[in-house]
Amino acid sequence: MNTVSQQAQDVFVSTATLLERKGREEGLTEGRKAGRREFKEEIALSMLEEGVQDSLILKLTKLSREQLKRLKMQIANTRS
């Protein structure tokens, strides 16, 4: 009975460790994605402030038109 309990505990600990590791990896992946998105947005904001054409900003940053529109609104709101 003790061996079964120890085996069950080992399986539980192994599963918990695996899930924790997977969660950590997913969190890191999401954090990297967010960081890249923020970096692209910062670059796009700088380009907008310098008067760069939308088509070039979209091409170089790979942002969507909707993201660029949102950034333009952000600039307009800070100037008002």
12-65 confidence digits (pLDDT tens): 888 888 889 999 999 999 999 999 999 999 999 999 999 999 999 999 999 999
**Res 6: pLDDT:** 84
Q: Are 68 and 45 in contact (CB under 8 A)?
A: no
Number of domains in the chain: 1
Backbone φ and ψ of 64, nearest 5°: -80, 165
| Domain range for 51 | 2-79
Distance CA 72, CA 18 (A): 43
CA of 60: how far to CAs of 39, 43, 71, in Å?
12, 9, 15
pTM of the full predicted structure?
0.70
Which residue in this structure is represented by tokens 């079964």? 4
Residue 1 pLDDT exceeds 60? no
Distance CA 78, CA 28 (A): 32
Residue 2 pLDDT exceeds 80? no
